[in-house]
């Protein structure tokens, strides 16, 4: 007893849900594999990074931040040895209160420049989860939009059909002539 438009509506919903279920693994793999390849390249580049000990050249004076609170880490000039043995200088973020002559760890590249520490596996996994989540959200919104477009077209057809049927029935019910 269902109208063809209602049957098409159900078929569209089931079809789009099936498409979603089929595309989820493809989207996750499609996003995950390029990310993993990129991370592997970055990991290889990061193998040139290594951790060395730097000597602080000045006291880490605790500056006062907003509302009178001490800032936990401050930049302090430091010296460390490059891979070729030459001295390198730069500012390091160290806990406030550290004294000149103290040491701090610094990550350096193959030329002795200070660099960020390498990403941990948990950070990489978190990034993959976030990117995959955004890709799945984009897929969901796209399919929901397609579902709404189908429903809009079917609603217009249902309303046009209803108008046709009402035009045929209304004169008999209201006894009006057209």
Domain enclosing residue 92, as ranges: 50-115
Do 64 and 18 have their domain in common? no
**pLDDT, position 109:** 83
**Are the CB atoms for 84 and 46 separated by under 8 Å?**
no
Kindly report the average pLDDT of the chain as a whole number: 84
Count up the domains in the chain and report the number.
2
pTM of the entire structure? 0.55
Do 66 and 109 have their domain in common? yes
Average pLDDT over residues 35-52: 75
Do 25 and 76 have their domain in common? no
Do 41 and 128 have their domain in common? yes
Do 41 and 126 have their domain in common? yes
**pLDDT, position 177:** 59
Q: Is the pLDDT of residue 178 over 60?
A: no
Residue of 98, 101, 91, 103 whose CA lies nearest to 71: 98
**pLDDT, position 47:** 66
Do 19 and 34 have their domain in common? yes
Do 135 and 94 have their domain in common? no
Cα atoms found within 13 Å of the Cα of residue 175, Cβ hemisphere only? 0
User: What digits encode the pLDDT tens for the residues 122-133?
Assistant: 877 788 888 888
Q: Is the pLDDT of residue 156 over 80?
A: yes
Assigned domain for 178 exists: no
**pLDDT, position 38:** 77
Do 33 and 20 have their domain in common? yes
Assigned domain for 65 exists: yes
| Surface-to-core class of residue 104, CB atoms within 10 Å of its CB (0-12 exposed, 13-18 middle, 19+ buried) | middle
């Amino acid at each position: 007893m269902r109208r063809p438009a209602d049957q098409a509506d159900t078929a569209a919903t089931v079809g789009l849900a099936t498409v979603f279920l089929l595309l989820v693994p493809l989207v996750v793999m499609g996003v995950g594999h390029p990310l993993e390849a990129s991370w592997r390249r970055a990991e290889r580049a990061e193998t040139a990074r290594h951790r060395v000990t730097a000597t602080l050249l000045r006291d880490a004076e605790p500056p006062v931040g907003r509302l009178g609170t001490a800032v936990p880490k401050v930049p302090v000039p430091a010296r460390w040895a490059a891979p070729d043995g030459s001295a390198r200088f730069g500012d390091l973020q160290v806990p406030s209160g550290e004294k000149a002559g103290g040491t701090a760890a610094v990550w350096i590249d193959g030329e002795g420049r200070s660099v960020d520490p390498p990403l941990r596996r948990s950070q990489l996994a978190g990034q993959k989860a976030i990117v995959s989540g955004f890709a799945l959200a984009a897929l969901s919104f796209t399919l929901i939009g397609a579902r709404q477009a189908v429903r809009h077209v079917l609603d217009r057809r249902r309303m046009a059909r209803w108008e046709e049927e009402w035009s045929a029935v209304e004169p008999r019910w209201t006894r009006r002539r057209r």
